[in-house]
Amino acid sequence: MLGGSRPDGERMQRASESAYDRVREAALTGVTVVVPLLVTLYVLSIAVGVVDDLLDPLAQLLASTNVAPNASEVIVDLVGVLVVVALTLLVGFAASFRSGERVLAYFDAVLERIPGVGAVYKSFRQMSDVMVESDADNFQSVKLVEFPHQDAYTLGFLTTETPAAVEDAAGHERMLTLFLPLAPNPVMGGHLTHVPEDRVMDVDMTVEEGMRAVVTMGVAVSSEDSGTDGLSRERLERLTGEDVAPPQASEGAE
């Protein structure tokens, strides 16, 4: 009896840890999706409110001249939204020119000097640059690492070689620094990991293909010649060097 209860206890512990990991990952993913959306809506609402205040004389003028007196506030709100959209597009176009880049660089420098705000803004700015830039030079290559537990593999992006101080503290001679993004919103979530080089596997993917796989939650894993079937069992076995069990048919399947 004692011999049988021990494996059962270990299985229950592993199942509990696995359930905790799934809940934790779901919570983190939910936060990374919801928080940017809420922040964006909050900032846009403030911007629209500021524009509405500036256009308040227009609303009063429309009301006093009996030009759409009942719809003056609605008209001003719509104009405010259009102004915010136009300003956003204008900033985007300006940033594509050299002079606009200099202005934005100055704006970034000013914000980064604000105590408390600067560090947060700089971190979000760097992460946005990493994800938005089309040349993908910020990531060197796509890797495969065993994470978050044994026999589970996660796509990662090689950022740089691990600093010597981290290697010395970890007791490894050679390590790699990887960014493991959270799907489907890698901009706001992920893990910065330092992994021994012998535990990192190369993947025959471009950085663009790897990022596409993350954003589409694995639907579009590789280029068009691979279709949308994802990583095949044979390909995963070649990458990991281990046998991968085929998926089991569901009950009732013929």
| pLDDT at residue 106, as a whole number | 81
DSSP-derived letter for residue 146 is: E
Residue 115 lies in a domain: no
- Residue 137 Cα to chain centre, angstroms: 17
Q: Which residues contact 104 (CB under 8 A, 6 or more apart)?
A: 94, 95
Pair 91, 162 in one domain = no
Q: Which of 229, 162, 227, 151 is nearest to 194 (CA)?
A: 162
Pair 158, 87 in one domain = no
State the residue range of the domain holding 213.
141-240
Give the pLDDT confidence of 90-99 residue by residue, as tens digits.
877 777 777 7
Pair 223, 145 in one domain = yes
Pair 147, 91 in one domain = no
Q: Which residue has the tokens 């803004």?
A: 121
Q: Which residues contact 181 (CB under 8 A, 6 or more apart)?
A: 155, 157, 189, 190, 211, 214
Residue 7 lies in a domain: yes
Query: Which regions of the chain does DSSP assign to beta strands (E)?
Result: 141-146, 153-161, 175-181, 190-196, 200-202
Pair 84, 173 in one domain = no
Residue 20 lies in a domain: yes
Residue 161 lies in a domain: yes
Pair 147, 205 in one domain = yes
Pair 90, 150 in one domain = no
Residue 108 lies in a domain: no
Pair 220, 148 in one domain = yes
DSSP-derived letter for residue 249 is: P
Give the pLDDT confidence of 7-20 residue by residue, as tens digits.
666 777 766 767 77
CB 126 within 8 A of CB 113: no
Tens of pLDDT along the chain (254 residues) come to: 455 556 666 777 766 767 777 777 777 667 666 766 777 788 888 888 888 888 888 777 777 777 666 666 777 778 888 888 888 888 777 777 777 778 777 877 887 788 776 776 776 666 566 555 544 556 788 999 998 888 888 889 998 888 889 998 989 889 999 988 887 766 667 888 899 999 999 988 888 888 888 877 777 664 444 444 445 556 555 555 555 555 444 444 44
Q: Which residue has the tokens 């256009």?
A: 55
Question: In the listed set 36, 67, 96, which residue is the last one of a domain according to the structure?
Answer: 96
d(CA 197, CA 33): 31
Question: In the listed set 42, 67, 96, which residue is the last one of a domain according to the structure?
Answer: 96
Residue 40 lies in a domain: yes
Residue 111 lies in a domain: no
Residue 203 lies in a domain: yes
Domain count, the chain: 2
d(CA 225, CA 123): 37
Question: In the listed set 66, 96, 126, which residue is the last one of a domain according to the structure?
Answer: 96
